[in-house]
């Protein structure tokens, strides 16, 4: 980008501010899940040629607990990735399905996993135009309507579930298709952040706060490490940076240092999000309480930079067998400062955050412990034009999905863990008797969707009980309404 060299210069010229934070993993596969495909319409909003074309949309289905023709339908609205990943980390849905005798469906999001509208060409320029929130929601609406007919579930209420982006989609399903979805559990859904509402410094400030909770010495050490790397950058001591941070390729310029900082910041982000009280294999292989473990790593080293390398290794080197970090392979900058990942799914997400989804977070080394790494709307526009030949619509989700003005919606649970850096961009106070917020003390990213674990904090156990009760009431109410409609 044209502005990057200037930013790199500023980055090395201005100093950092120094300050004056196991139980078993979930079972691997949800009970009775079968993988199937549905011939989905490519373009729901056109009557031209493309609207007659279809692609195979993957979904997973379990009838193990279903009371056929009577039990509700639980629909997971798939995220930005392989649907099996989310099915394997959402055991609460199966536990609730057993209790409420539900049919369970996990629907994969278009352009992710195996649900590719144009096959392996789907992420090529000029093929990405059908990758939108609106198309994905229409996929789910068409899919669930058809499957209800196939399974003889026409009169069975549908409850949508989702976490993170999937939680946004579950809420949007209830808002956009209330005729199809009777209620939604939107776990860790950053509806305000993605609509461009809120403070751009919030996310990395909250990541910092998570590490601060493990002890102030941890954040002090992190700040010191970044400050020392910056001083080495100023003096041109790139070999020392490379050696202490164990990079596979030598750091040789300011651009490499900027990449190193993005690589390191990404590890902190993932550890804060996945700060579960037990070992997990979701979005990386992490130990129980990874934030605490990371802080122990940096504080155990006499050299602070080597300590930083050890800390990020909790995420990047969980096996302990990695000899060096390939910082350009392991982390790729994109239009989401919290990270896109790597591979085709990462490319698809990069496109989405270049169009409708607005994530202009930045770190500033004042309200957070990270180097100053700005990401303004102008920088986003420049990146997206260069990468995808598109201009983001910064206000579109406010217009199309109501922004923060959700009071006319109904039957949505917004759950957030107070350890989750995404929580600050979500709905954090109940808006009406049927727009209910549940805050989970000691909870990380959509912890409530995970299955029961002996290490669960009491707060998530109570949250799941409350969610189950509310969902049961929605199902009963939907059945009563359906009965009245049939009698009238």
Give the angle subtended at the CA of 183 by the CAs of 178 and 187, to the nearest 5°.
Answer: 125
d(CA 160, CA 167): 9
Q: Determine the distance from the C-alpha atom of residue 402 to the mean position of all C-alpha atoms in its chain, rounded to a whole number.
A: 20
Whether 164 is a known active-site residue: answer yes
Q: Is 412 helix (H, G, I), strand (E, B) or coil?
A: strand
Q: Are the CB atoms for 58 and 37 separated by under 8 Å?
A: yes
Mark whether 410 is an active-site residue.
no
Strand partners, 112: 115
276: DSSP letter: -
Label the pairing between strands 103-107 and 183-187: unpaired
Q: Which of 275, 445, 446, 456 is catalytic?
A: 445
Rounded CA-CA distance 136/131 in Å is 8
For residues 127-142, b (16+ Cβ closer than 10 Å) or e, as one string? ebebbbbbbbbbbbbb
d(CA 376, CA 486): 54
Phi/psi at 257 (nearest 5 deg)?
A: -65, -40
**Other Cβ atoms within 10 Å of 474 Cβ, number:** 22
In this structure, how many other beta carbons lie within 10 angstroms of the beta carbon of residue 239?
A: 12
**What number of other Cβ atoms are within 10 A of residue 161's Cβ?**
31
- Which listed residue (90, 164, 188, 214) is catalytic? 164
Q: Please check whether residue 16 is in contact with residue 227, taking contact to mean a CB–CB distance below 8 angstroms.
A: yes
Identified catalytic residue from 420, 446, 456, 459: 420
| Torsions phi, psi for 36 (to 5 deg) | -140, 170
CB 350 within 8 A of CB 274: no
C-alpha distances out from residue 486 to 359, 379, 480, 483, Å: 45, 55, 10, 5
Angle at 274 between CA 351 and CA 355, to 5 degrees: 15
Verify whether residue 445 is a known catalytic residue: yes
Q: State the DSSP H helix or E strand holding residue 401, giving kind and residue range, or none if neither.
A: none
The three-state DSSP-derived secondary structure of 334-382 is CCCCCCCCCCHHHHHHHHHCCCCCECCCCECCCCCCCCCECCCHHHHHH
Which residues are known catalytic residues?
164, 420, 445
């Amino acid at each position: 980008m044209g502005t990057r060299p200037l930013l790199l210069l500023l980055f090395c010229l201005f100093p950092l501010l120094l300050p004056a934070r196991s139980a078993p993993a979930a079972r691997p596969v949800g009970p009775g899940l079968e993988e199937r495909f549905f011939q989905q319409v490519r373009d729901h909003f056109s009557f031209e040629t493309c609207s007659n074309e279809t692609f195979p949309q993957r979904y997973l289905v379990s009838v193990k607990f279903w009371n056929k023709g009577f039990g509700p339908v639980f629909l997971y609205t798939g995220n930005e990735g392989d649907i099996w990943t989310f099915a394997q980390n959402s055991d609460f849905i199966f536990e609730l399905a057993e209790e409420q005798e539900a049919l369970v469906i996990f629907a994969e999001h278009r352009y992710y996993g195996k649900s590719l509208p144009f096959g392996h060409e789907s992420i090529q320029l000029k093929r990405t135009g059908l990758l939108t929130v609106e198309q994905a929601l229409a996929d789910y609406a068409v899919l669930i309507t058809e499957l209800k007919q196939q399974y003889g579930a026409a009169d069975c209420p549908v409850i949508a579930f989702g976490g993170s982006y999937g939680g946004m989609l579950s809420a949007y399903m209830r808002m956009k298709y209330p005729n199809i979805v009777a209620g939604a559990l939107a776990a860790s859904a950053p509806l305000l952040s993605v609509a461009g509402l809120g403070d751009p410094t919030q996310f990395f400030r909250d990541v910092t706060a998570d590490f601060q909770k493990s002890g102030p010495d941890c954040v002090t050490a992190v700040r010191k490490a970044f400050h020392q790397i910056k001083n080495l950058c100023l003096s041109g001591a790139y070999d020392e940076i490379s050696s202490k941070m164990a990079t596979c390729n030598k750091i040789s310029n300011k651009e490499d240092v900027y990449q190193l900082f993005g690589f390191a910041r990404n590890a902190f982000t993932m550890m804060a999000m996945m700060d579960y009280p037990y070992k997990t294999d979701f979005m990386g292989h992490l130990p129980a309480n990874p934030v605490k473990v990371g802080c122990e790593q940096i504080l155990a080293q006499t050299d602070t930079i080597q300590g930083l390398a050890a800390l990020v290794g909790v995420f990047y080197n969980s096996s302990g067998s990695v000899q060096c970090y390939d910082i350009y392979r392991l982390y790729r900058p994109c239009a989401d400062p919290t990270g896109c990942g790597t591979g085709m799914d990462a490319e698809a997400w990069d496109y989405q955050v270049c169009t409708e989804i607005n994530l202009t977070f930045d770190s500033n080394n004042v309200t957070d412990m990270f180097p100053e790494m700005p990401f303004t709307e102008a920088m986003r526009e420049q990146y997206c034009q260069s990468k995808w030949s598109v201009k983001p619509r910064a206000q579109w989700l406010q217009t199309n999905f109501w922004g923060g003005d959700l009071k006319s919606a109904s039957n949505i649970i917004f759950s957030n863990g107070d350890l989750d850096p995404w929580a600050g961009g979500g709905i954090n106070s109940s808006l009406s008797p049927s727009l209910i917020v549940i805050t989970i003390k000691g909870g990380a990213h959509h912890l409530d969707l995970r299955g029961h674990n002996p290490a669960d904090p009491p707060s998530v156990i109570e949250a799941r009980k409350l969610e189950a009760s509310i969902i049961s009431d929605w199902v009963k109410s939907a059945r009563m309404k359906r009965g009245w409609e049939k009698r009238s």
